[in-house]
Structure 1
Amino acid sequence: MEFRIPLFQIIISFFLVLFMAIKSVRKSKARNLTQKLIPGPRKLPLIGNLHQLAGPGLLHRTLRDLATKHGPIMHLQLGQVSTVVVSSAEMAKEIMKTHDIVFANRPFLVVSMITTYECTDIAFSPYGNYWRHLRKICTEELLSAARVNSFQSIREEEVLNLIETIKSNEGLAVNLSEKVFSMSYGITARAAFGKKCKNQDAFVSVISEESKVNSGFFVSEFFPSLKFLDVVSGLKHRVEKIHGEADRILGNIVNDHKESIAKGRKYSKGHTGRSG
């Protein structure tokens, strides 16, 4: 998936936080006197290194070029957010394995706060007893060998559908990334709902839109103290709308399951009565 940071959003962010200039510069000077930061490219006041990530190039290539110049571990100041970028397998192992608990938590961003009910899911909840309890549920109820094997027919059917789709478009360009994502969502939805349902396609569409929002660039994420940016930019309203639609669809799916269960019990009782 290509990811670019629009230059015009960087410019807008610069003017939105202009009034913080004096305060930011003073804090930056005080911090530089008291601590030694990891080496990194020179930064501008207010926006830090954001301007170096903007432009026509892909983000991962830009970071690669910066790492080639400044080393496998470098410091970037992204607005108000101090960021460390690691570009070597050895450093990544130290962070992801040796010191994984230290780096386990994720920032509380507006998108994750809204879509996961204030970061209460396994992906965004803080490390602790609650997160360990969620992991235990996932390990025992969702990711056990027996449970994974029970979904084998679903995986095989969805993969076959993907192959047939590609085959039917022989000689034409196919967006493979889009098709693979669609297949993954289809497998997940069928595994979660137990069967194909009338709301499945709508739910997959909403989740896809939610993923796009999660992976997007938003000025407010780099200036967390300026919470009004989420409202001014329309981000909060957009995320709330997507989340509301997802809740509505899930509510319909749950109600359909309840009706199916009730009909099954009613039929079972009636059938037993006649047999008696």
Structure 2
Amino acid sequence: MLQIAFSSYSWLLTASHQKDGMLFPVALSFLVAILGISLWHVWTIRKPKKDIAPLPPGPRGLPIVGYLPYLGTDNLHLVFTDLAAAYGPIYKLWLGNKLCVVISSAPLAKEVVRDNDITFSERDPPVCAKIITFGLNDIVFDSYSSPDWRMKRKVLVREMLSHSSIKACYGLRREQVLKGVQNVAQSAGKPIDF
């Protein structure tokens, strides 16, 4: 790293003695960029991380896209199974610039989802969810610890999932099921797009 900086500095000195006035600002910008990258490298990569818990093992990805190019498009579950065989039942995976922790065993999933649900409930919502829900103003993406979420959950359970509201929608549900069965019966022998 120092060798690159010294060679850039010597190039800067030779460029400053030339008659061309544009070469000096370009060389100075280049030197400042190299120095900035070096300082960033020392500050982030080599900084001791004593207060942060160690991450689980996982495959390395590319700088901007992470491990996305290696996942492929078909049989994604088989790729995750192979990664679990290589790195264990819990591993990290960079998908773009998002760090994802993948859990692939039933006992670990039970511990995360049931036993430590409050700890693992907060997650980063995708950008499309922010747009569709008008700033995460719904029960799915709202913060689990907020009082608004608790009120929305009470309304959902009391109004939408109560026995009387389910009974009131019986006719509509029956009609939709009958339409679906009729569409399947009419398309016998042909591919159906649900």
The question of a shared fold, defined as TM-score above 0.5 by the shorter chain, is answered with yes
SS at match of 1:149: helix
- 2:17 matched residue in structure 1: none
* Counterpart in the other structure of 1:156: 174
2:136 to 119, 124, 127: 119
TM-fit CA distance, 1:44: 3.1
Identify the match of residue 73 of structure 1 among 90, 98, 102: 90
Structure 1 residues 132 and 33 mapped into 2: Cα distance closer, same or farther (>3 Å)? closer
1:253-272 aligned within 5 A:
none
Match of 1:51 among 69, 90, 93: 69
Q: Given that residues 39 and 70 in structure 1 are in contact (C-alpha distance below 8 angstroms), is that contact kept between their aligned partners in structure 2?
A: yes
Q: How does 1:199-238 map to 2 (within 5 A)?
A: none
Matched, 1:63 2:63: no
Relative distance call for 1:38 and 1:150 in structure 2 (3 A) is same
Residue 29 (structure 1) aligned with residue 45 (structure 2): yes
Consecutive unaligned residues in structure 2, runs of 5 or more: 1-32
What is the letter of the counterpart of residue 123 of structure 1? Answer: V
Residue aligning to 2:102:
85
Amino acid in structure 2 at the alignment position of 1:159: V
Tell me how far apart the structure 1 counterparts of residues 40 and 114 of structure 2 sit (CA, whole Å). 35
TM-fit CA distance, 1:25? 5.8
Higher relative contact order (CA 8 A, sep 6+): 1
| Alignment RMSD | 2.4
The number of aligned residues is 155
Normalization by structure 1: what TM-score? 0.51
Q: 1:25 to 1:70 in 2, by over 3 A?
A: farther
Change (3 A) 1:87 1:169: same
1:142 positional shift: 0.7
CA contact (8 A) 1:43 1:49 kept: yes
8 Å CA contact 1:48–1:79 kept in 2: the answer is yes
Q: Distance in 2 between matches of 1:116 and 1:95?
A: 27
- C-alpha displacement of 1:39: 1.1
Contact 1:72/1:87, CA 8 A, preserved across alignment: yes
Offset, 1:110: 2.1
Alignment match, 2:13: none
Matched, 1:138 2:152: no
CA distance in 2, matches of 1:31, 1:137: 48
Normalization by structure 2: what TM-score? 0.70
Distance 1:52 1:88, change over 3 A: same
Displacement of 1:129 in angstroms is 0.8
Residue deviations 1:47-77, cap 9 Å, x none? 3322322x24232332122112211111112
Of residues 109, 116, 127 in structure 2, which corresponds to 1:110? 127
* Other-structure match for 1:167: 185
Q: Distance in 2 between matches of 1:91 and 1:26?
A: 36
Aligned equivalents of 2:47 and 2:128: distance in 1?
30
Amino acid in the other structure paired with 1:29: I
Gaps of 5+ in 1: 1-18, 179-276
Structure 1: distance between partners of 2:42 and 2:95: 17
